[in-house]
Chain A
C-alpha cells in the first residue's frame, strides 16, 4: 500500500503542478509536438530495425551450431541489463568522431560518412541494445518447435523456404507483436541513450524533454505536463501491446537436441553465416573496445581521484539499499497476494501484484519529477538526493522482484502452510525457517537483478545528482560531456566489470538453483 501511496503522491504532485489538465497544450506547442513525433519516429525505426534484423539472426542461430554459441547467447541476453552508458561509450569508441573507424578511414584520407550524434547514433545504440535481446526471444520461440515437426519436415522433403513458411514463421508471428511491443516501449522511454547521443532540440524525446524542462528551463509546469503526457502515451501503448500480443509462454528449449536439417545448401550456409557474423560484429566490438580502451595511461589518475571512489561508493550504496528495499517490498506484496490467492480471491491478488508492476508503465523520470515537485516545498531537494535516488531505484527494481519471486513464493506457501500453522510458526520465525531456507536462491537472483538495474541507472540521478552526489553512471556522463575520453574509458570498464560480476553471479545461482530444485521437489 505504501508503494501505491508513494507513486500516487508523486503523481498527485504532478497534477497539482500542471497549470491545467489540458494535455492538448503539449500538442499545440510546435516544439513539443516535434518532440512527441520524434519519440514515435525513432522508436518506430528502432523497433523496425532491431526486430526486423533479429528475425534472420534468430533463424540462423536456430539452425546452426558453433563453438562459441553458448557464449554468444549469454552475451545477447546481457545487453539489456548492461549499463546504458557503457554500451554508448563502446559505440562512441568505434563510430565516434575520434573513434576507431574515423582513425582507420583517415589513413585513406576519408572522412567518417556519418555523425554518431543525433538520430543515427540513437538508432545504432538502440539496435545494439535491442537486436540481441529480440533475437534471443525469437530464438526461444523457434526452439520451442517440437521435434516431431522437424522430423516431419525432413520426411516430407521440404525446402528451407517451405519449412520457414509453414513451420517456423507461424511460431515467430505469434511472438512478434510481443517482442516488437517490448522493444518499442524500451525505445520510447529511452533516456540515457538520447541524452548522451542526441539532446539537441532536433533529436529530443519526451523523456528527455521532461528533464530539460526542469533542469534547463526551470519550467516546472511544462515538466509536469510533459510527464503526464508521457505517462498517458505509455499507458496507451502498454494497453495496445497487451491487446495485440498475448504473451506466449516461452519454454527454454534445450540446446542439445538433435538437428534435422532439410536440404542444406552452400547458399543457405553462407546466408546464415553472414547474419550470425553481422550480429557478432554489432555486439562484440563495442564491448571489446570498452575493455581495451579501459586499460590506459589514465587508469592510475582515475584510481587516485577521490571523485571516482566517491561515485563508486555512492553507486554501491544506492544499489545495495535500493535492492534490499525492492526485495523486502516485493516479499511483503507477495506474502499478501499469495494469501489472497490461496483464499481464492484471485482478483484482489492480481490487483495487488499489478500495483507493484505499475512502475513499468510509469517511467522513472516521471516518478522522479513528481517527487521533486512534491518535496521541494518542504526541503532542499538536493540534500535529500541520496534517499530519493534510492527510492526511485527501488521502485524500478520492484517489478522484476515480483516477477522472479511470485511463483516460488506461492509454491512454498502451498507446501508448507498447514505445517507452519500446526507448528505455530509465525512472522519472522516462519520467514527464517521456511521462506529463507527454501527461497534463498531466487531471492538472491531477484536481489542481483535489481542491484544491476540500480547500478546502471541514469534517470533519477541525472535530475537530483550534481557535483556533491554522483553515482558512477553520472560521473561517466560528466566525463563524456567534457570529452575526457580516457578517464571515461576507465569508468566504463569499472561499470562493465561490476555488471559482468553481477551477471555471472546470477548465472551461477540459477544453475545451482535448478539443481537444488531437482533434488528437493
Chain B
C-alpha cells in the first residue's frame, strides 16, 4: 500500500514538474480576476513588460486564498497570492508557506505607512454599508443604530470564514461591541437576508434589490458614479468609525518562477498596476497617483478602526465561533 502510494506521489510530482514553464500563477479572488475587474488591465500591462504569461486563478474570496494555500500544503502551483489583507498577515506568515519580498515599499502612502518584509500592499479602503439613496432616505448614523434600532432594514454581509470583507465586518463589530458582541450578532441576524461566501455574490444580490444595505467599501459608490454615471448609491457614515482594510500580496515559498515573481511584486507598486485599482478594484491606490474624478465626492471616515494582525491571529478562531454560536441561538 505504502509503496503504491509513494510511487503514485512520485509520478504526480514529476508530472507537475513538467508543467512548469514561463507562466506566473497568481491566486486571487473572483471579483479581481473577473472580466470587469482589474485583472485584464493588470495582465496586459505586466505581460507587455515581462514577456511571460500571467495567469489568475480565481477563488471565492480572500480568506479562501489562504485556506487553499494551506490545504495544498507546500505543493501549490501558485507563485503569488494576491488578496489577503492586513488582518490576515500574521496568520498567513505563521503557515511558513510564504517568503520575503525584496520590494522597496517607501513609496507607499497609506495612512500609517508600511513596513513588512513579506507583504506588499496593493490597495486599501474602509468597510461601509452601501445603500440606494432613493430607496433609503434616512440611513443609520452609527453601527449601533443599525444593529439596535433599525428593524425596518434588510442586510446582506459576507461569511467571515471565507471572505475578507466578512472578516473585516466581524472585527468591526468586535471593536464596537467588545464582549457584548454576541447579543449584537443576534439582533443583526433578524435583519440579515443571507450571509454570502464572497463579496461579489453579496453585491449583485443587493443590486437586484434583495436587501436595503450591503457590506462593501466607502469607495464602492465611485463605481456607480464613474462607470455608470449613476449618483444614487452612497456609503453610510457611522459615528463609531470605519474598519480599515489594506489588501496585500505575497510570494509563495518554493515558487518555480522566482525571478518572475519578484518582477511582479515590484510591478504592484508601479503606476501600471496602481492606476488600475481606483477604477478596476474600486479601492484607493497605495502610492501617490492622481485619483480619478468621482473619488472627490466620497466621504473619508474621520476615525479608522483596526486591530493589529497579531491580535486577529490569536483571536480569530474564537471570534468566529462567537459569531457562529450567536447565529445558532
Binding site for B on A (CB under 8 A): 5, 9, 30-31, 34, 97-98, 117, 200-202, 212, 214-218, 372, 374, 376-384, 466-468, 481-483
Cβ distance A28 to chain B, nearest Cβ, rounded Å: 13
Whether A200 touches B195, Cβ cut-off 8 Å, given contacts A482-B200, A482-B201, is: yes
- Is B242 in the interface zone, CB < 8 Å from A? no
Within B289-329, which residues are at the interface with A (CB < 8 Å)? 317, 320-321, 323-325, 327-328
Tell me, in angstroms, the Cα distance from A373 to B40 when the chains sit together. Answer: 36
Contact of B327 among A5, A200, A378 (CB under 8 A): A200
* Chain B residues whose CB sits within 8 angstroms of the CB of A117 once the complex forms: 194
Tell me, in angstroms, the Cα distance from A380 to B73 when the chains sit together. Answer: 8
Interface locus among B4-12, B105-113, B118-126, B172-180: B4-12
Contact of B59 among A200, A212, A379, A466 (CB under 8 A): A466
Give 6 pairs: A residue, B residue, CB < 8 Å, sorted on A. Answer: A5-B1, A31-B321, A202-B328, A381-B72, A481-B201, A482-B204
Whether A201 touches B324, Cβ cut-off 8 Å, given contacts A97-B210, A376-B75, A377-B73, is: yes
Tell me, in angstroms, the Cα distance from A383 to B18 when the chains sit together. Answer: 13
- Is B101 in the interface zone, CB < 8 Å from A? no
B: contact size bracket: 35 or more
Whether A376 touches B73, Cβ cut-off 8 Å, given contacts A216-B159, A216-B161, is: yes
Tell me, in angstroms, the Cα distance from A200 to B196 when the chains sit together. Answer: 9
Is the CB–CB distance between A383 and B77 below 8 Å? yes
* Chain B residues whose CB sits within 8 angstroms of the CB of A381 once the complex forms: 71-72, 75
* Chain A residues whose CB sits within 8 angstroms of the CB of B196 once the complex forms: 481
Is the CB–CB distance between A379 and B75 below 8 Å? yes
* Chain B residues whose CB sits within 8 angstroms of the CB of A376 once the complex forms: 71-73, 75
- Is B58 in the interface zone, CB < 8 Å from A? yes
* Chain A residues whose CB sits within 8 angstroms of the CB of B68 once the complex forms: 382, 466
* Chain A residues whose CB sits within 8 angstroms of the CB of B208 once the complex forms: 98, 483
Tell me, in angstroms, the Cα distance from A384 to B75 when the chains sit together. Answer: 12
Is the CB–CB distance between A468 and B57 below 8 Å? yes
Is the CB–CB distance between B9 and A380 below 8 Å? no
Cβ distance A375 to chain B, nearest Cβ, rounded Å: 8
Chain B residue at minimum C-beta to C-beta distance from A37 = B328
Pairs of residues from A and B, 4 with the lowest C-beta to C-beta distance, nearest first:
A378-B9, A380-B75, A216-B161, A201-B327
- Is B239 in the interface zone, CB < 8 Å from A? no
* Chain A residues whose CB sits within 8 angstroms of the CB of B71 once the complex forms: 214-215, 218, 372, 376, 381-382
* Chain A residues whose CB sits within 8 angstroms of the CB of B67 once the complex forms: 215-218
Tell me, in angstroms, the Cα distance from A212 to B16 when the chains sit together. Answer: 28
* Chain B residues whose CB sits within 8 angstroms of the CB of A374 once the complex forms: 5
Is the CB–CB distance between B9 and A9 below 8 Å? no
Chain B residue at minimum C-beta to C-beta distance from A481 = B201
Is the CB–CB distance between B161 and A212 below 8 Å? yes
Q: Mark B62-106, 1 if CB is under 8 A from A, else 0.
A: 011011101111011100000000000000000000000000000
* Chain A residues whose CB sits within 8 angstroms of the CB of B161 once the complex forms: 212, 216-217
Chain B residue at minimum C-beta to C-beta distance from A468 = B57
Cβ distance A106 to chain B, nearest Cβ, rounded Å: 12
Is the CB–CB distance between B325 and A30 below 8 Å? yes
Tell me, in angstroms, the Cα distance from A483 to B327 when the chains sit together. Answer: 24
Chain A residue at minimum C-beta to C-beta distance from B327 = A201
14 more A-B residue pairs beyond the given contacts A376-B72, A380-B75, with a C-beta to C-beta distance below 8 A = A30-B325, A98-B208, A201-B325, A201-B327, A214-B71, A217-B67, A217-B317, A218-B71, A378-B12, A379-B8, A382-B71, A466-B59, A482-B200, A482-B204
Cβ distance B45 to chain A, nearest Cβ, rounded Å: 23
Chain A residue at minimum C-beta to C-beta distance from B160 = A216
Is the CB–CB distance between B12 and A383 below 8 Å? yes
Cβ distance A121 to chain B, nearest Cβ, rounded Å: 12
Contact of A481 among B16, B73, B197, B324 (CB under 8 A): B197
Is the CB–CB distance between A379 and B9 below 8 Å? yes
- Is B181 in the interface zone, CB < 8 Å from A? no
- Is B162 in the interface zone, CB < 8 Å from A? yes
* Chain B residues whose CB sits within 8 angstroms of the CB of A467 once the complex forms: 57-59
Cβ distance A32 to chain B, nearest Cβ, rounded Å: 10
* Chain B residues whose CB sits within 8 angstroms of the CB of A201 once the complex forms: 323-325, 327-328
